[in-house]
Chains A and B, each alone.
Chain A
């Protein structure tokens, strides 16, 4: 049980996608114009990521190693088609907002990354916990980034007016360059926070934290 919780919770902070493992940036930059969009995208990713981890883990012993990537893609693609049809049926406005980025979940690096780094080496239950945790982390990040951009770009949060009437929308935040700037600031703030924690614990401060194999430790390389 503790192992299960460990695999689930690592997606919430230590390996929080996409801020800690900088993967799957395409939807992060493109769909986070509003908190609603970010949240909807996150839900779709939770669904695909959890189920793809489960299926990949279930068939991990019968897939030949040489064609495993193709198999992962096929599994992810089938799930994404399911999500797309579900969204068209039950959340059509959101589907129209997200547009091309729903089919593009197939090629989201996080899906493939978790399948390759975790699900293809672990049991079904652990993989499900890992996928669900990562998905929840991804949803949190996207909602946070979307909320930040929506708050300044439109003056609203989840569609309701937050800023006073006299506030002139800071449209830069909802344009593409604003997404990059926001993401950069969030990453910098997280690194600063991590360094502060390390300093409190008396550990050496990472002068220029990089996301290489030494600091990440996701796949145990």
Chain B
């Protein structure tokens, strides 16, 4: 509607009238900012190898999203940075030495099969970067294996050491070196300290709620502590399980993915706890050294169940009333 003359005195529009100012673009920019220190550490540790992986992954993700939106005859909305974020998170999970085609295939499948086939942003039932990661892991296990694909590196992969040689091998890793990212793993996901920094930033800016990361780390600690108390010789200390591999990346960035995680306090805590406990179960009994991605995918599948736990509406009729 055009105003008849000059600027409108009163604007007539439908509700909502008050907006908190949070936008998709702003949120994804904040998350990208929180990921930056880890990306920097990844590039430093891998002698620029990770830069190639992260850049390629981001570019392919944005192109794949734009292509899908064009095919679906929708407005191309790459300027909200969600595809860039998805690509960067996918790159974080990949070994820095991955060949270019592996990154291209995985990153585009993350967007296409993980997000766009479900109707685009906000429709994905699973955390999109993990879908691409799982497809790559199933298809090309030898390239996704950090030990085999990173033979030239002086660093070692603590979780496969733990799986193959027992927990005493973990003594060679000091907490400081683990926090600084002196371990093999996903290019950005292994930078535990930087990831922790980014996660704390996101929580302090209220981009993510503290429930899921806290419950996730809590679940990992409880399950690992349980195993450790049963037999300290056979199982590692909980702190190693938190700092090794991609536990912190999963807790702060993957499990909190807005459309595949539940809402509400209790569902969030149940979701985080179950994902955390699954991580330790996969690490102890499973074939995969790092259980985080699969644990989060499984927890994503349980999200609709957790969302059935709802608060009682104020003044709503409860079952007790009905029984009378």
**A contact residues vs B (CB 8 Å cutoff):** 168-173, 175, 177, 181, 184-185, 188
Contact = CB atoms under 8 A, between A and B. Distances in A.
B140 A177 contact: no
B151 interface: no
B117 interface: yes
Interface of B: 101, 105, 113, 117, 135, 138-140
Contact of B140 (A168, A173, A184): A168
B138 A172 contact: yes
B140 A171 contact: yes
7 contacts: A169-B139, A171-B140, A172-B135, A173-B139, A181-B113, A185-B117, A188-B117
A171 B117 contact: no
Contacts of A171: 138-140
| Majority secondary structure, B binding face | helix
Contacts of B113: 181
B139 A170 contact: yes
Contacts of B140: 168, 171
Report, nearest first, the 10 A-B pairs whose CB atoms are least far apart.
A172-B139, A171-B139, A172-B138, A172-B135, A170-B139, A175-B138, A168-B140, A181-B113, A171-B138, A188-B117
Given A172-B138, A185-B117, 16 more contacts: A168-B101, A168-B140, A169-B139, A170-B105, A170-B139, A171-B138, A171-B139, A171-B140, A172-B135, A172-B139, A173-B139, A175-B138, A177-B138, A181-B113, A184-B117, A188-B117
A170 B138 CA distance: 9
Contacts of B139: 169-173
A168 B101 CA distance: 10
A105 B105 CA distance: 37
Nearest to B105: A170
A178 to B, nearest CB: 8
A177 B138 CA distance: 10
Nearest to B138: A172
A216 to B, nearest CB: 24
Interface-central residue, A172, A177, A181, by most chain B CB under 10 Å = A172
Contacts of B135: 172
Contacts of A177: 138
Contacts of B138: 171-172, 175, 177
